[in-house]
């Protein structure tokens, strides 16, 4: 396993088969790790069928909806234990399109962490209401201003980590368990001095299903930013 792509899933049975097929067509030589949180719609069974079809698909079944952060960590541990040198995280709903995977992998030759970014030249969003655009932009600006993060897209989940980054980080140190997990990971990566690069992507609204982002997740993300700011000040 040289490259592993982690797909956290919850009620994504309509998206996962096509996503895996499109990854297969790219011929990246990558393994796919589906981390399913006991989806009521049967995504886990669909993932198991894909595992039977594609030998490079792996499935982790979890007891319930345990959170995005722990899904990433479980997938990362699984990939690291099998020797993966590059570990990619992405959404399973086509908001992160597989067509950007080759560019992200190419950039990982120069950077320790690569972000599929909406907020660099050439990047953007499609089919988003203005309220969501403003919310995303504000969340990124707050993270950049409060934490001093240098990346333009601090909340992006489309990322590639080199193996040495994840083995050096203590994953248990990452306390956040929602979308704020992404900000916390980036904070510690920048603190450690890893080279962080961004590749432009067009973030498209999901094709099927319902967004998992809740108002509670937004509040948690804000609290995480200020918790990290206080922790960073204390460490100095």
Domain range for 110: 3-235
Distance CA 123, CA 77 (A): 30
Q: Rounded distance, CA 160 to CA 100, Å?
A: 11
The C-alpha atoms of residue 94 and residue 154 are separated, in whole angstroms, by 19
Position 103 scores a pLDDT of: 97
Element (H, E) at 7: strand 3-9
Question: Sorting pLDDT into bands at 50, 70 and 90, what band is 230?
Answer: confident
CA nearest to 87, candidates 68, 120, 114: 114
Measured between alpha carbons, how far apart are the two ends of the chain, in Å?
A: 39
**Is the model's pLDDT at 157 over the cut of 80?**
yes
172 DSSP 8-state letter? G
Structural contact between residues 112 and 197, judged by C-beta atoms closer than 8 angstroms? no
**Among the listed residues 183, 172, 188, the one whose alpha carbon sits nearest the alpha carbon of residue 220:** 183
Alpha-carbon distance 100 to 123, whole Å?
A: 11
Q: Mean pLDDT throughout 20-41?
A: 96
Pairing type for strands 113-117 and 159-162 reads antiparallel
Nearest to 50 by CA among 20, 89, 71, 22: 20
Q: Is the pTM of this model over 0.85?
A: yes
Higher pLDDT, 133 or 153: 153
Alpha-carbon distances, residue 38 vs 41, 71, 110, 181, 213 (angstroms):
9, 12, 37, 21, 18
Q: Tell me what pLDDT residue 86 has.
A: 98
Average pLDDT, the chain: 88
- The number of folded domains in the chain is 1
Per-residue pLDDT at 235: 43
CATH label of the domain that carries residue 74: 3.90.550.10
């Amino acid at each position: 396993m040289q490259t592993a792509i982690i797909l956290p899933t919850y009620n994504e049975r309509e998206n996962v088969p096509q996503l895996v097929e499109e990854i297969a067509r790219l011929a990246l030589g990558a393994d796919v790790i589906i981390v399913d949180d006991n989806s009521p719609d049967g995504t886990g069974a669909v993932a198991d069928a894909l595992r039977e079809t594609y030998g490079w698909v792996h499935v982790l079944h979890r007891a319930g909806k345990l959170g995005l952060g722990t899904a990433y960590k479980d997938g990362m541990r699984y990939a690291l234990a099998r020797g993966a040198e590059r570990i990619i995280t992405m959404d399973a709903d086509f908001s992160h399109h597989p067509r950007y995977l080759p560019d992200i992998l190419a950039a990982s030759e120069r950077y320790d962490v690569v972000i599929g970014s909406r907020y660099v030249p050439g990047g953007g969003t499609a089919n988003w209401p203005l309220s969501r655009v403003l919310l995303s932009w504000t969340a990124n600006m707050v993270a950049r201003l409060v934490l001093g993060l240098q990346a333009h897209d601090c909340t992006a989940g489309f990322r590639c980590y080199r193996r040495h980054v994840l083995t050096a980080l203590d994953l248990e140190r990452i306390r956040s368990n929602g979308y704020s997990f992404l900000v916390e990971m980036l904070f510690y990566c920048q603190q450690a001095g890893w080279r962080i690069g961004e590749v432009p992507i067009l973030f498209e609204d999901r094709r099927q299903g319902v967004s998992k982002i809740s108002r509670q997740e937004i509040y948690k993300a804000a609290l995480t930013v200020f918790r990290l700011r206080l922790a960073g000040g204390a460490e100095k």
